[in-house]
Amino acid sequence: MKKPLKRIFAPALALLLLTPPGFGANHREAPITALDHKADITDVFAFRSYDAGGVPRVTLIMCVDPLLEPANGPNWFPFDPDILYELKVDNNNDAVEDVVFQVRFSTEQRLPGVAQAYAGAGAGISTPANSPAPIAPNTPLIPPRITSFNDAGFGTRQTYTVTMVRNGVSTPITGATPFYAVPTNAGPRTMDYPALFIQGTYSTSTANVKVFSGTVDDPFWIDLGAAFDTLNFRNGAVMTPGQDAAAVNITSDTVSGYAVNAIAVEVPVAMLTRTGAVEAATSTAATIGVWASTSRPRLTTRRAPLPTVSSGSWSQVQRMGNPLINEVLIGTGSKDRFSMDQPKNDGQFAAMLLDPLLARLINAATGGAVAIPTPPRLDLLPLVTYAPPIAAMGTPAGPVADMLRLNTGVAPVVPGGAGYSRLGLLGGDGAGYPNGRRLQDDVTDISLRVVAGVLAGAPFNAAPNAFLGDGVNVNDTSYTASFPFLGFCPSGRDRRHIDPGEVGCTAGAGPACIP
Amino acid sequence: MRHFLVLLFVASLGAADPFGVRKVEIRLRLEQQDFAAAAEGARLLNRQWPDNVETYQLLATAELGLGNYEKADQALQWMFDLRLGKADARGYQLLAEFREVTGDVEGAIEALHLAFGRVQTGEAGNRSLLLAHLARLQLLAGKLALAGKILREADLAMPEVGRVESLRWLALSRTDEAIAALRHLPPKPRYLYALAELTHDPADYAAFLKAAVASPDSANRELVLYWAGVGARPGEALALARRESARRHDVLTQDALAVALAAAGQGDEARKTMRAVLAVGTLDPAIVAHAKQLGLAPE
């Protein structure tokens, strides 16, 4: 072809003129969950159920949407119907999920004309004799106190579905009725929260599987303000042996009086292990890895039917296994990538995990009084690989991955009972963190000590390393004794946040907190 | 511009916001169409300040300019994953550009609607730009009347109203009005070439050539098309096209190279180049017209 190409269709050429330039944008960046509280996972728990009866079971819990103020209204704290909430279990040591519990929510507005999400009082209240027209006296106005999910005053009602995906096969978990999410505790006049909590704890059509979702007491406890004021702990970060042994708080639990949204699933151990059986603690098949994730619908750059680079229709917003890893070990610039990535890829963060900045901060902040081991911190491997003393000898270590490791063969210990320690494994209680995580495990103190090297042996397993702590030893309220084991949401009317220097440092009783 | 970059660098040494300074520097590179330097700058910035949405936008813009569509795709996808459902207008506009160049016109329209929903009503200039882009896509989708309607809205605050006005007339197949509108535009080489292509007037071509020579690298694609066609200097067209292709390989640059190759009698090489262009998926009418003249057509 020697002839020049003809001139092209003129309007088509003119189209090329109109290539719009980009316009200005200015972002102030923040880690992704700082912008998406509903998808922010606060805690993950995995432990052998310690209530009586039945086959050996594991309770898995994920908490989302941090620091909910129960007095806040009128819309309360629904789960986000756009989020896919997932609890994931690895049972073959490759840090890839083998069993997943997927939870989705739907919201129903039953009282669109009422400003409050829930409304109720006593046996109901009618208009008085002097009620102005057009509403006649003695007209029912305020519904009766809410005691069930079907009560008239229950305005914003959420149902949810649970699907178990095991080895790629999805099985809906259903019950005799729809699963309703337990609302926040608006207050004693409006609702009988404990009754709703009990009704919202569902046995399902799948044998020995229970589910629960709802707003509950935030089960975490910590002197959060001191921790995030560059470890400015009020007790100097080191406990006396007496303080360490007592089930009392000497500093204030910043999370006291706050609520959180929780999703809990209880399943037989045999549904989680790769062998489909309850394995002995010495079995290499006994230990599972557990983490939770939140995902939102994904916008793919290449739409179907074009070739897609998307791995699915959801994109992960956050994930969590061990407590405090993303919070205090992962650098801010890497937090989003960590949140959106998969545990099996955590090798990319190994430098942060095995030479944790937190350890160096403790070392520096105490002027060297708290000596720490030299990196790489192989003593931390049990937290991020399958390794003794959690997993049995001979268990494949798998990749470095942030998951809770739970040896399902270790018998449960009833918190408060014989053999229990808030310090879990460090306190000689093999059923506690970092073997899984119970609600009662003091993961702040445990993590401080582990990061400071107590698992590395002498000299790091003695004072002061072995007595590091924030001074908050117990939660501000009690947990329930059976599934879902979570505590009741504080009443919005009567909740109490215990502050520094305030009398009643331990669940509102006892001496004052250290200011 | 070079002087300004030096000043910018010096300023960055003591800047309170070196991150912001670096981003400005990358934007300047993009405006200079130095996409390779912009992409490298964005990648460096991303290593220093990881996972910033705007950095990914700058990177995607540079990769689109270079014709690295897979890399642009990756940067865009990560940006959207970082801000699920919360991307800004610029992010969606970039998505529209990516989808358009890969032939997904409907997807590009969808992205622009999302972008439009994220622009404040007071941002008249940005709204007009998006509307103009949307009109162009509607034209590509064959919806002439709708495009004209959208362009009338865009005209309200468009900085260079005539540019939009001309397109509107073209959309309505009213070439005379388009020519009149183009004559009211600033005498930029690209506009002058478009005008000449409509009028076929040697004086208009001469005006284009004068402007292009006076403003080097401002309209190289148009120069290649001119030398390969009316200008009848295929050797010059090919030399310029190869030089441009060495810098970037986006579909428009490669399309111009194919035209120059054909004009220079290298038909096989021209078709090979054009096949690679079409493989990206573009439905750009100018490119499609060139492809047809080479005996090729999009899948």
The burial of A94, by beta-carbon neighbours within 10 Å (0-12 exposed, 13-18 middle, 19 or more buried), is given as middle
The reply to whether residue A16 touches residue B74, judged by beta carbons under 8 angstroms, is no
Cα dihedral B71/B75/B77/B83 (nearest 10): 180
Helix (H) or strand (E) holding A99: strand A99-109
Least confident of A57-66, A298-307, B42-51: A298-307
pLDDT for A304 equals 60
For position A21, what pLDDT does the model report?
38
Lowest mean pLDDT of A19-23, A28-32, A194-198, A369-373, name the range.
Answer: A19-23
Among A508, A467, A456, residue whose Cα is nearest residue A233: A467
Give A163-201 pLDDT, tens digit per residue. 999 988 999 999 999 999 999 999 999 999 999 999 999
Confidence (pLDDT) at A330: 84
Per-residue pLDDT at A464: 95
pLDDT surpassing 60 at residue B15 = no
In this prediction, residue A305 has a pLDDT band, given cuts at 50, 70 and 90, of: low
H-run or E-run covering B135: helix B124-140
pLDDT digits (tens, 9 = 90+) for A320-348: 999 878 877 888 778 888 998 999 999 99
Helix runs in A189-288, H state only: 193-199, 224-227, 241-245
Average pLDDT over residues A364-371: 92
Q: What is the 3-state secondary structure (H, E, C) of A225-243?
A: HHHCCCCCCCCCCECCHHH
Pairing mode of beta strands A140-142, A99-109: unpaired
- Averaged over A434-461, what is the pLDDT? 95
Does the CB of B115 have a partner CB in chain A at under 8 Å? Answer: no
Query: Which chain A positions have a beta carbon within 8 Å of B167's beta carbon?
Result: 14-15, 17-18
The percent of residues above 70 in pLDDT, for chain B, comes to 89
Q: How far is B109 from chain A (nearest CA, A)?
A: 12
Q: Which of A12, A303, A310 sits opposite B107 (nearest CB)?
A: A303
**CB contact set of A108 (below 8 Å; sequence gap of 6+):** A156, A157, A158, A159
| pLDDT of B236 above 50 | yes
* Cα B221 → chain centroid: 11
Using the Cβ of B277 and the Cβ atoms of chain A, whether some distance falls under 8 Å is answered with: no
CA distance A10 to chain B (A): 6
Task: Write the pLDDT tens digit of every residue in B24-68.
Answer: 999 999 988 899 999 999 999 988 887 788 899 999 999 999 999
Check A301 against B126: CB less than 8 A apart.
Answer: no
Of B192, B224, B229, B195, residue with least CA distance to B207: B192
Interface of A with B in 60-89 (CB under 8 A): 82
Residue B171 pLDDT grade (very low, low, confident, very high; cuts 50, 70, 90):
low
| Nearest neighbour of B132 by CB, restricted to A18, A22, A317 | A18
- What is the model's pLDDT at position B52? 82
Partner A contacted by B80 (CB < 8 A): yes
B119's tokens: 């622009």
Q: Which residues of B touch A18 (CB under 8 A)?
A: 132-133, 135-136, 163-164, 167
The reply to whether residue B80 touches residue A298, judged by beta carbons under 8 angstroms, is yes
Query: Could you read off the pLDDT of B144-167 as tens digits, one per residue?
Result: 888 888 887 777 656 566 666 667
Beta carbons of B124 and B139 less than 8 angstroms apart:
no
Give residue A26's pLDDT: 33
CB contact under 8 A, B126 and A23: yes
Render pLDDT for A472-512 as a digit per residue (tens, 0 to 9): 999 999 999 999 999 999 999 999 999 999 999 998 999 99
d(CA B240, CA B211): 17
Question: Is any Cβ of chain B less than 8 angstroms from the Cβ of A336?
Answer: yes
B203 exposure class (CB count in 10 Å sphere: 0-12, 13-18, 19+):
exposed
At A63, is the secondary structure helix, strand, or coil?
Answer: strand
pLDDT at residue A307 is higher than 50: no
Residues of chain A with pLDDT > 90, as a percent, come to 73
Element (H, E) at B8: helix B2-13
Backbone angles phi, psi at A394, to 5 degrees: 95, -10
From B139, B173, B289, residue closest to A8, measured CB to CB = B289
Average pLDDT, chain A: 90
The mean pLDDT of B126-130, rounded to a whole number, is 83
Helix or strand (DSSP H, E) at B71 = helix B69-82
Is the model's pLDDT at A90 over the cut of 70?
A: yes
Distance CA A402, CA A290 (A): 9
Q: Look up tokens 């999805």; give the residue.
A: A170
For an interface test with A, the pick among B57, B82, B129 (most A C-beta atoms closer than 10 Å) comes out as B82
Q: Does B46 touch chain A (CB under 8 A)?
A: no
In chain A, the residue whose alpha carbon lies closest to the alpha carbon of B81 is: A315
Looking at residues A81-105, what average pLDDT do you find?
Answer: 96
Distance CA A59, CA A39 (A): 21
- The two tokens of residue B283 are 């439905």
Q: What is the dihedral of CA A44, A48, A49, A50, to 10 degrees?
A: -120
Alpha helices in A346-416 (DSSP H): 350-354, 357-365, 381-384
The mean per-residue pLDDT over the stretch B17-25 comes to: 84
Looking at per-residue confidence, does B16 or B125 come out higher? B125
Helix (H, G, I), strand (E, B) or coil at A211: strand
pLDDT, tens digit (0-9, with 9 covering 90-100), for A7-26: 444 444 444 444 433 343 33
Instruction: Please report which confidence band the pLDDT of residue B299 belongs to, taking 50, 70 and 90 as the band edges.
Output: low
Provide the β-strand partners of residue A164: A101, A171
Phi, psi of A228 (to 5 degrees): -90, 5
Contact (CB<8Å) A303/B263: no
Q: What is the DSSP letter of A482?
A: S
B289 inside 8 A of chain A by CB = yes
Pick the residue with more confidence: A362 or A285? A285
Instruction: Indicate whether B249 pLDDT > 60.
Output: yes
Interface with chain B: mutation pick from A3, A6, A17, highest number of B CBs within 10 Å? A17
In the predicted structure, residue B258 carries a pLDDT above the cut 50: yes
Q: How confident is the model at residue B3 (pLDDT cuts 50, 70, 90)?
A: low
> What are the distances in angstroms from CA B193 to CA A10, A148, B222, B231, B248?
11, 75, 7, 12, 22
Which residues on chain A are in Cβ contact (under 8 Å) with B135? 18
- Residue B235 pLDDT class (50, 70, 90 cuts): very high
Pairing mode of beta strands A99-109, A156-166: antiparallel
Model confidence at B9, in pLDDT bands (50, 70, 90)?
Answer: low
pLDDT of A490? 97
Task: Say which residue, B197 or B13, is predicted with more confidence.
Answer: B197
Rounded Cα distance, A255 and A257, in Å: 6
What number is the ipTM of this complex?
Answer: 0.74
Q: Which helix (H) or strand (E) holds A89?
A: strand A84-90
User: What tens digit of pLDDT does each residue of A116-151 get?
Assistant: 888 899 999 999 999 999 999 999 989 999 999 999
Whether the pLDDT of residue A4 is over 70: the answer is no
> Which of B84, B167, B270 shows the shortest C-beta gap to A315?
B84
pLDDT of residue B123: 78
pLDDT digits (tens, 9 = 90+) for A378-393: 998 888 999 999 999 9
- Cis amide prior to A412 (ω within 30 degrees): no
Q: Return the pLDDT at A19.
A: 45
Which pLDDT does position B191 carry in this prediction? 87
